Amino acid sequence: MTLANSVKGQTVCIAAIKHPMVRAQAIRFGISEGETVMIQEIIPAGPVIVRKKHQELAIGRKMAEDIQITLVS
Amino acid sequence: MTTCHGAPIKLDIGKGEKKLVLAGNPNVGKSVFFNHLTGMYVDVSNYPGTTLDISHGRYKDWVVMDTPGIYGLSSFNDEERIARDVILQADKVLNIVNALHLERDLFLTRQIIDTGVPVVVAVNMVDEAKRRGIQINFDRLQEELGVPVIPSVAVKGKGLKEVEAALPQACIGRVNTELAAEIDKLSQAIANRGEALLALEGDEGIRAAYGISQKDKREEIYLNRRECVNEIFQAVVTETTQGANFSTKLGYWMVRPITGIPILAAVLYFMYQLIGVWVAGDVVGFTEETIFQGYYEPFVRGILTGFIAPDSIVGQILYGEFGLVTMTVTYVLGLLLPLVVAFYFFLSTLEDSGYLPRVAALTDRVLNYVGLNGRAIIPLILGFGCVTLATITTRLLASEREKRIAIFLLGLTIPCSAQLGVITGILASIEPGFVLMYVLIILSILIAVGMIMDRVIPGRSSDLLIELPPIRLPRLTNVLKKTGIKSFAFVKEAFPLFALGSLLISVLQVSGALDVLQEALAPLTVGWLGLPKESANVFIMGLVRRDFGAAGLADMTLAPYQAVVALATITLFVPCVASVLVIFKERSKKEALVMWFSTWVIAFLVGGVVAQLYARLEQVYLTVAAFTGLMALLVGASMLFSRRKADVTAQSAPCCHSEQ
């Protein structure tokens, strides 16, 4: 399952991020592999907005397709 | 601009002096600290990435430097490269972190500490954190980091004195010992510990500059640092439950398409009503006609006629048709200034509120079609204010490819506020059908050119990854200050260019060269575009400033279709001198030249095609349909003939994709 086909309201765990550059940026933002985030909003065919604590990030659709997740709840 | 491959550059600012550098993530309030320390005002805004230039000032015997907001030290984009170069040369760093986002912000803090520079940490916005139920143990944080930690609420002036008092106590924090050992090993090759650290972390520019070939350890170091930050965070922060307040909810509504699109439409409509209707009509009517043409111009003429004959050469240049002290002053102060002030006021409000990144998320999908991502909406909207400024802002785009597309689209299709004011003025006086025609022509060019560039330029654009800052009520003093500064900068920049433009036209007119040029251009203007031959003036003026050209159109009597053809051509025509200079600065000479000539070709081609279509079809909607059809064909053809893109990511090569 990837971040791109998650559903709004789900809490998911980041399992794997494909590209090294994206991975590095994700570590900085604190959403690296193993972190848990909430799917705040999914803009149809557009970015996925994830939330971790008080921080919100908009992640482009293509990038979201490269992020593997596992469902937490 | 930094060097091509992001090799570290040595800055000239504060050479041989002690440097205090302010660093932090975007939106943490660095600029407020900067103002407090140096007593100088810099741009303060709520959009990630507006401090692109390095502001610097003095504090006691220190040179204080501000840096763009960054999430880490590296060279993922231009902003980071600039910040990296400044921070690595610091003698002391004041790191400002956001109390709301400690978990994220401390990553940079730890990274800066690892470079071995003395640091003081200011934890800002503690009031907002408290309201949201975030408790921070500052003593423990100080212990964990090993550097002074001071809480503050900078915008309210709280904690600024304490931070100032702590600056002399800045010290080297608790560095990661394993990393320090690795850095020691490299110290033979790289004297600067910070640069050595970044070389280990795989910073391409620094590795290339020092010829480091051993495998980088970015992933390992980053994960390690992240783990360390998470531990610190767990130890110092306790959170109580938090409910979604109104501003959080408003933030959601802004990105959810079903509410977000109406909100965006409402914002744009309000902007049009405010700037396009009220300011461009009522306010400008008063300033331009009543004040400047009614009082100022007759007054100046009255004085000057006593000294210089009105029909002498000097007289014509000074206060003739395109007079330096009459028309230039009226245009800049009476017509353009009110428009520019209104635009910057509106934009500053949006910037301060945190709305713009949400627009970026909302429009990401659409911008993907023209090879850009949501981030590019910022320069594109800014372009409606000032294309020159917007061109500089394209630096926040991640890849060269996106910068190229965005800069060209800006120069070609986006009319700036000054021009827009004149354009809406002309369009308001003709039938709605023709207004639609103008809008569709420009829009279809934007889409077609964007799509074709996306197809033809090698590589793939980067994906959106943007932080959505909390929605805040803009602070009026901040908005007004920013509006004032930007408007003043506009007048300062526009006046000489305008003066140059009118001087050029006056000289051409007085010397009779204007008639010759008009005749020479007649096949183009009269034959191809179907305009009166005087329209040549407009294009000559448009070379200097596009709005200057558009303003010239307002004084000509044109049939509605002629007005549309002329407006479309002048909109697409070359950007103003200032923008062109910036394009040459931002891009290579060759590329800038290609862009500049392309705008000529496209402008006259489009204007001519529309004119010719209308001459044959004699009907507005048919012409529009034919034109957009033609554009669709063009795009379709380019899709067919250019190869399909392999699924490669542009992320891996953030700099220098192809020819420079």
Interface of B with A in 429-468 (CB under 8 A): 463-468
Note whether B361 contacts A46, CB cutoff 8 Å. yes
In degrees, to the nearest 5, what angle opens at C-alpha B405 toward C-alphas B400 and B406? 95
Helix extents (H) in B527-647:
535-544, 546-554, 560-572, 577-586, 589-617, 620-641
Residue B177 CA from chain centroid, whole number: 41
Closest-CA distance of chain B to residue A69, Å: 17
A43 in contact with B, Cβ within 8 Å? yes
**Which residue from A20, A23, A45 is facing B365, i.e. has the nearest CB?**
A45
pLDDT digits (tens, 9 = 90+) for B85-134: 889 989 999 999 999 889 889 999 999 999 999 999 999 999 888 888 88
A28 in contact with B, Cβ within 8 Å? yes
CB pairs under 8 A between A and B: 127
Note whether B465 contacts A53, CB cutoff 8 Å. no
- List the domain boundaries for chain B: 18-239, 257-643
Interface of B with A in 245-274 (CB under 8 A): 251-252, 255-257
Nearest chain B alpha carbon to A53: B101
Q: Which residues of A touch B222 (CB under 8 A)?
A: 24, 27-28, 32
What does the alpha-carbon distance between residue A38 and residue A51 come to, in Å, rounded to a whole number? Answer: 5
CATH code for the domain of A61:
2.30.30.90
What does the alpha-carbon distance between residue B302 and residue B371 come to, in Å, rounded to a whole number? Answer: 56
Superfamily name and number for B18-239:
P-loop containing nucleotide triphosphate hydrolases (3.40.50.300)
Q: Which residues of B touch A45 (CB under 8 A)?
A: 365
At B3 the pLDDT is 40
Nearest chain A alpha carbon to B649: A19
At B13 the pLDDT is 65
At B644 the pLDDT is 56
Decide if B193 contacts B179 (C-beta within 8 A): no
Decide if A4 contacts A60 (C-beta within 8 A): no
At B547 the pLDDT is 67
Full residue range of the structural domain in which residue A41 is found: 3-71
At B52 the pLDDT is 54
**Diameter of chain A by CA atoms?**
28
At B118 the pLDDT is 95
Element (H, E) at B338: helix B337-353
What does the alpha-carbon distance between residue B565 and residue B608 come to, in Å, rounded to a whole number? Answer: 8
Give the mean pLDDT per block of 10 residues along chain B (660 residues). 51 75 88 82 51 72 86 82 88 94 92 94 91 89 94 90 93 88 84 88 85 84 91 88 72 89 91 80 86 91 86 84 83 82 86 88 90 88 79 80 92 83 79 86 92 86 86 84 79 76 79 81 85 81 70 77 88 79 82 91 91 87 89 86 53 34
Q: Is B41 exposed, middle or buried (0-12, 13-18, 19+ CB in 10 A)?
A: middle
What does the alpha-carbon distance between residue B176 and residue B109 come to, in Å, rounded to a whole number? Answer: 12
ipTM of the complex: 0.92
pLDDT digits (tens, 9 = 90+) for B559-592: 888 888 888 988 888 777 777 877 887 788 899 9
Q: Which of A17, A33, A48, A56 to mutate to test the interface with B (most CBs of B within 10 A)?
A: A56
A8 in contact with B, Cβ within 8 Å? no
Q: Which residues of A touch B100 (CB under 8 A)?
A: 54-55
DSSP state of B292: I
Task: Give the total number of structural domains in chain A.
Answer: 1
B498 in contact with A, Cβ within 8 Å? no
At B179 the pLDDT is 86
Q: Which residues of B touch A52 (CB under 8 A)?
A: 103
Decide if B360 contacts B469 (C-beta within 8 A): no
